[in-house]
Structure 1
Amino acid sequence: MKIAVRIGFILIGLVVGWFGIIEAMLLLGDLGVSVPAWLTIPYVASLIGGLIFFILSLFLTDGVVKFIRFIEERLVRLPVGDILFGSIGLIIGLLIAFLISVSLEVTNIFLLSKIVPIFVTALFGYFGFAVGYRKRNEWIKLFVKSEREKPAAEPLRRSNDKILDTSVIIDGRIADISKTGFIEGTLIVPQFVIGELQYIADSSDTLKRNRGRRGLDILKELQDNDRIEVEIYDGDFEDVAEVDIKLIKLAELKKGIVVTNDYNLNKVCEVRNVPVLNINDLANSVKQIVIPGEEMVVTVIKEGKEQNQGVAYLEDGTMVVVEGGRKLISKTLPVVVTSVLQTSAGRMIFARPE
């Protein structure tokens, strides 16, 4: 950018020297001022102008570059429609300025034919852009149908891409679910999630280190599964520090679905209207369904929280609270279901010995 700006300064200096210095010397000569003859030579005057503007560029380049970057950032933030109608107004303004400049050049007066057109071009270009930008809503009404005639907006189309977070990879059940063929679409694993897994795997805490290594092993298992496609997303959102927010932004970018076990991330996705799949919800949905009065056989393995309660577990991990089961620990016996309680932690069954 700096090189381009300095080249621009030099080119402007060459043009100013070719036209401006020569005209200025001739004007001084007409006023009786003694002017060296070599200053009226076009090539010499052009080189002098280029040298002067090159020296100016050494001091002004940084400021010009900052100004260009400032304008660039502002333009990038503007909606495309605003830029479009502003550009149309700019073109119309420049056309009007061109017609005025052509008529001024006929005068053959240096001030009117060379200097005034520059200001006319800048002035009408600015006015054209300002009018086109500020009147964009009226322009839109000329070309776009009224709101009543507009067709109903199409629903947002979502892809089948599944974006995995750290917790669901460490959990490992996603690999078993993928083997069954119930997972559709591409599994996307962001590079910042892999970085978090590596950070956990390098932890000095043994439990965290084992969890991180398990996550990396599960990821390798997913990649080796021929029934699914795994994609590593190398992009990042450097303006965001939290991995959960990065996952949500990636889901919005890809129009995909977040797959997680994290309760908080699940809630944030719901607030942001981002589709989310929770493996825990899936596990609760496929657990054995029981109704009050149904009989089952369980093994009481420990005491319950309340007095005389015993606790057993079904094969899928569902907790069964047996009334009066404290004295039946380590025994296998038939029980009758009295009630079923669905909690955020899963399903809990209450029963009594048959």
Structure 2
Amino acid sequence: MKAAVYTRTGEPGVLELVDQPVPEPDSGEVLVRMALSGVNPTDVQFRAGKAGPPPYGWQIPGQDGAGVIEATGQGVDSTLVGERVWVWEAASGRPWGTAAEYTLVPSRQIVLLGSVPFEMGAALGIPFLTAHRCLTVGELMPRHLDLGSLADRVVLVQGGAGAVGNAAIQLARWADATVIATVSTSEKAQLAAAAGASHVINYRQQDVVAEVKKIAPHGVDTIVEVSGDQNAAVDAQVIGHAGVVSVYSFRGEELTLPVMRLMPPNARWQFVTVYQVPAAAKAQAVQDVATAAAQGGIRVGADAGLPLHYYPLAEAADAHTAVEHSAVGKVLISTSQEQPA
């Protein structure tokens, strides 16, 4: 099989297209013939060396993807062979990522796709599971998302045109929240609106605090935060009673908060890294995201605010470069010349 592999960390050029034997599933594993691999910022960061050298001496990158089950290991229902699935965290603690023609995945990390397109399946994992955690982590927030569960909530998505921002908008709107999104350009405003944002604020042209207070005079219930340090002052002014600021990305190293302003509303700052989300919360997120996708609450493509950018497997390095350069939308790697049916 063909696979994108790196044996040392560094620039995207460390990724090489190599031939490897098709692996055989061990007990509790499934072999998935990949159709598409989703590229996330953490894939890029791990390849660059953020987590140290590849622990197995080599690594196929890619946490997310979609394809068809080719074989099952001992203890896994063999009738799953031929099923279309999406996978999550395939490369977490394992060398078998999704940027390959085949990958090995623990059976608990596959989710049936049904009629959902491969493009959507490959886009679901890290961004949507992160967004789910951001939306449900607060003590007064529902830990289970479904239709209507956020009907009385106002959610502010800082950075509404990013992959996680798009996911947060779509999930929150599916759950009937009022969603305010901030963006930096008119083009990104169009994407956030296409994702379903109820209100869009261009923070380069408008006063975010003033605009949010017009929409939510008593403050917002949840903030999904792409830049925890840079937006802290704004967040502190618009968070409502018992509100939660869910920080999933941080550009600096330190955070300063106006504590006396935040104590009366009992506000909470919650930091989110999807790989360390508690198992029960992760399982609930997977279930809710799968339900939202099956019910049509999640879409992909430019008309859903998430443009898709395709790269062949041989150009995996270019796909990583695109993510490093903050490509707007979802970067996907086509893992074979012919996609599984």
TM-score normalised to the size of structure 1? Answer: 0.23
| Higher RCO, Cα 8 Å, sep 6+ | 2
Work out which of the two has the higher radius of gyration on C-alpha atoms and give 1 or 2: 1
Going by fraction, where is helix more abundant, 1 or 2? 1
TM-score normalised to the size of structure 2? Answer: 0.23
